[in-house]
């Protein structure tokens, strides 16, 4: 997933101004992860997740070995023994799966500590990953690809590995999000520097499925990027769940967090394909996006209850419609969770919670409709037109009985319809409580039980209040409330520009030249003496300066310099990032003893024709679009090993424009003989 300077994957290339890439500066990351040994409730939960993941990994390896032996042997006695072992392993895996499901259902750990009663939200646990040792692979690549001594870049490699280690335990706040975002942005540089289109680095990225604990590993860096992006979304869900939703600031923060979580999962779904783990499949991500949108809608309803005056007729109609809208989106989530490809790995407690909320908010929509009809005074002549306009769009189908005008002005007719709404509300409350009782994990959740019980008793109390002994009419069936919201949830895509990053490997040189696409011969050091006509070469461009021409018989030619060589050292000074004038000044300041320069040559660019092509590319002034490396690596990854499962790759999308230009000025303005 590229920053917009290279490639836009969201189709527009307008992602809040783009990622700020500070290639020429040196600054190590100051962001750190949480103390992995801190004994907080959340860290204990994450430690349990890591332990279960490791056990699942062990059992799956044992099962794979036993299955191979079962297929390979023809000895019946051995087959019986192996079949018994497989049965034992499968039992263990089932127990571990149930333990992980219970862990994913530990919603109370992520909620806030406020004494106010709020319906719990569903957060996601972070994906776990194994440690990754990049020291040897990157040192070897630097030596073989860039012609540099890999040992000289140990500090940068270790800095990157420390950042990855910190990213595994982000804190549950803005600093934790920035840490994940920083690492995600650094992966762009790692991709551009060390992952050529036609060769694998030989490193496997291991991640555990957040929902099932099943391990997956891929060579493709896209898998690493996608897993980090998933954790960004998961961390947003945890931040949203911990907010105090009894206050307006807390509600606004929760809305923002869940909208950003939806944006992260949606971005992942739209820009990556063929995920090797179920939690990042298109069906799973679609479910998560809908779940986050539903939780935003629930927060909007809670915000309405804080803002609206309770005695106002129109405000209560709006509350009823907001509750109906929440029920509508949770019903959609429940349908998604019970689909064939999703229901097998979504925790049962999640599915039950969503179903409970759907019934609960359906009940609330009828309750607030009844309150509006029974508790609010009859409209005056001035208020009547506005109330009629609101009420005509309030029900899905118009209620039976008198006309709308009579209904709104006759207290008895209002009471009858209100009583019908309350009857339906009580039925839905009881259904929500029945479904809640089916799930062992939810039964342990005291807050949810308290919320459901309170709402049920409130509706019963109101029904008793408006029920008259002399009522001989049969209470009708109230039509459902038409869902409507005043604040539509927004899916906020990740803003990659909010965290400024510096290329850890900036010492390799400008990325437009020193990238994984360009392979270099080792550095050649030559000693030049100034002749009567100077050094005998033509220089062009900046960062690094190119030798565009060599005069036959001149000092440069005799020293072995060629067209297409790049000057990267002058008397020991690194010139990869130096401007044209700076290099010229260094050359001019040499005395009679001459100058020691270091040059490198791009492999495959030897000769005047190649140099001319390179010069033309540099002088064009157009941006160099990065090729879609993950897609081009797909066939390579599939052929490397069967264990890579499905290669996880980006969907190919080109940006409409490239803002990352080649750092060379035009030929005519920046070429001179020296």
Contact present, 31 and 185 (Cβ < 8 Å):
no
**At 205, phi and psi to the nearest 5?**
-100, 120
What is the structure's pLDDT at 382? 80
Give residue-wise pLDDT tens across range 405-427.
Answer: 777 888 888 888 999 999 999 99
Between 1 and 261, whose confidence is greater?
261
Between 154 and 36, whose confidence is greater?
154
**Which three-class secondary structure state does DSSP give residue 537?**
strand
What is the structure's pLDDT at 39? 47
Contact present, 573 and 555 (Cβ < 8 Å):
no
Chain Cα centroid distance, residue 370: 42
What is the structure's pLDDT at 32? 61
Contacts of 102 (CB under 8 A, 6+ apart): 441
pLDDT at position 619 over 90: no
- Cα separation of 17 and 495, whole Å? 9
pLDDT at position 29 over 60: no
What is the structure's pLDDT at 96? 67
What is the structure's pLDDT at 366? 95
Contact present, 522 and 147 (Cβ < 8 Å):
yes
What is the structure's pLDDT at 661? 29
pLDDT at position 302 over 80: yes
Q: Considering only 211-225, 387-401, 432-446, 604-618, which range has the smallest mean pLDDT?
A: 604-618
Look at residues 22, 45, 28, 57 and name the one whose alpha carbon lies nearest to residue 214: 57
Q: Considering only 79-93, 105-119, 526-540, which range has the smallest mean pLDDT?
A: 105-119
Model-level pTM? 0.77
Contact present, 254 and 630 (Cβ < 8 Å):
no
- Cα separation of 452 and 429, whole Å? 7
Contact present, 658 and 6 (Cβ < 8 Å):
yes
pLDDT at position 489 over 90: yes
Give residue-wise pLDDT tens across range 33-90.
Answer: 555 445 455 556 556 666 776 777 777 777 778 788 878 888 887 777 877 777 767 7
Judged by phi (left if over 0) then psi (alpha if -120 to 50, else beta), residue 33 lies in beta
Give residue-wise pLDDT tens across range 363-381.
Answer: 999 999 999 988 888 877 7
* Two tokens, residue 452: 């459901």
Judged by phi (left if over 0) then psi (alpha if -120 to 50, else beta), residue 570 lies in beta
Between 653 and 495, whose confidence is greater?
495
């Amino acid at each position: 997933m590229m920053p917009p300077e290279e490639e836009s994957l969201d189709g527009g290339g307008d992602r809040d101004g783009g990622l700020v890439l500070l290639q020429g500066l040196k600054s190590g990351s100051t962001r750190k992860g949480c103390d992995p040994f801190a004994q907080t409730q959340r860290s204990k939960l994450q430690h349990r997740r890591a332990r279960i993941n490791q056990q699942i990994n062990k059992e799956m390896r044992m099962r794979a070995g036993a299955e191979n032996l079962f297929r390979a042997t023809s000895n019946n006695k051995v087959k019986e023994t192996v079949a018994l072992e497989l049965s034992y392993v499968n039992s263990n895996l089932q127990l571990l799966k149930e333990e992980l499901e219970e862990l994913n259902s530990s919603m109370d750990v992520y909620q806030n500590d406020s004494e106010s009663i709020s319906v719990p939200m569903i957060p996601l646990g972070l994906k776990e990953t194994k440690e990754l040792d990049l020291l040897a692979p990157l040192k070897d690549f630097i030596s073989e690809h860039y012609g540099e001594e890999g040992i000289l870049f140990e500090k940068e490699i270790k800095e990157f590995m420390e950042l990855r280690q910190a990213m595994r335990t982000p804190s549950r706040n803005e600093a934790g999000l920035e840490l994940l975002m920083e690492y995600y942005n650094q992966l762009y540089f790692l991709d551009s520097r060390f992952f050529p289109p036609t060769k694998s680095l030989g490193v496997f990225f291991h991640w555990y499925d957040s929902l099932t604990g099943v391990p997956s590993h891929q060579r493709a860096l896209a898998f690493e990027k996608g897993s980090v992006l998933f954790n960004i979304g998961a961390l947003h869900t945890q931040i949203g769940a911990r907010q105090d939703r009894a206050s307006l600031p807390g509600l606004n923060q929760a809305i923002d967090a869940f909208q950003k979580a939806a944006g992260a999962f949606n971005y992942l779904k739209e820009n990556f394909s063929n995920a090797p783990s179920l939690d990042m499949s298109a069906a799973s991500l679609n479910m998560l996006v809908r779940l986050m949108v539903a939780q935003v809608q629930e927060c909007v309803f809670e915000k309405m209850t804080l803002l609206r005056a309770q005695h106002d007729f129109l405000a209560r109609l709006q509350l009823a419609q907001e509750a109906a809208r929440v029920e509508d989106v949770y019903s959609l989530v429940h349908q998604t969770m019970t689909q064939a490809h999703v229901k097998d790995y979504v925790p049962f407690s999640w599915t039950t919670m969503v179903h409970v909320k759907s019934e609960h908010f359906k009940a609330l929509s009828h309750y607030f409709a009844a309150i509006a009809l029974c508790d609010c005074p009859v409209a005056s002549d001035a208020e009547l037109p506005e109330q009629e306009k609101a009420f005509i769009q309030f029900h899905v189908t118009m209620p039976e009985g008198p006309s709308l005008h009579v209904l709104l002005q006759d207290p008895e007719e209002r009471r009858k319809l209100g009583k019908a709404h309350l009857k339906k509300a009580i039925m839905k409350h009881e259904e929500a409580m029945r479904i809640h009782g089916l799930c062992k994990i939810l039964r342990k959740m005291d807050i949810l039980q308290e919320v459901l019980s309170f709402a049920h008793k409130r509706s019963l109390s109101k029904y008793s209040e408006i029920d008259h002994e002399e009522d001989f009419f049969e209470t009708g069936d109230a039509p459902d409330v038409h869902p409507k919201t005043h604040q539509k949830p927004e899916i906020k895509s990740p803003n990659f520009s909010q965290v400024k990053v510096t290329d850890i490997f900036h010492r390799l040189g400008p990325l437009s030249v020193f990238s994984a696409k360009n392979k270099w011969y080792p550095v050649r050091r030559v000693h030049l003496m100034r002749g009567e006509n100077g050094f005998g070469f033509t220089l062009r461009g900046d960062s690094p300066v190119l030798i565009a021409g060599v005069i036959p018989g001149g000092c440069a030619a005799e020293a072995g310099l060629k067209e297409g060589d790049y000057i990267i050292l002058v008397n020991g000074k690194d010139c990869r990032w130096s401007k044209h004038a700076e290099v010229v000044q260094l050359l001019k300041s040499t005395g009679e003893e001459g100058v020691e320069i270091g040059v490198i040559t791009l492999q495959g660019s030897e000769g005047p024709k190649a140099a001319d092509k390179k010069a033309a590319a540099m002088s064009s002034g157009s941006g160099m679009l990065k090729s879609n490396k993950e897609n081009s690596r797909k066939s390579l990854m599939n052929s490397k090993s069967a264990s890579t499962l499905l290669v996880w790759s980006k969907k190919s999308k080109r940006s409409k424009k490239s803002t990352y230009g080649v750092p060379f000025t035009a030929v005519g303005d920046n070429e001179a003989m020296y």
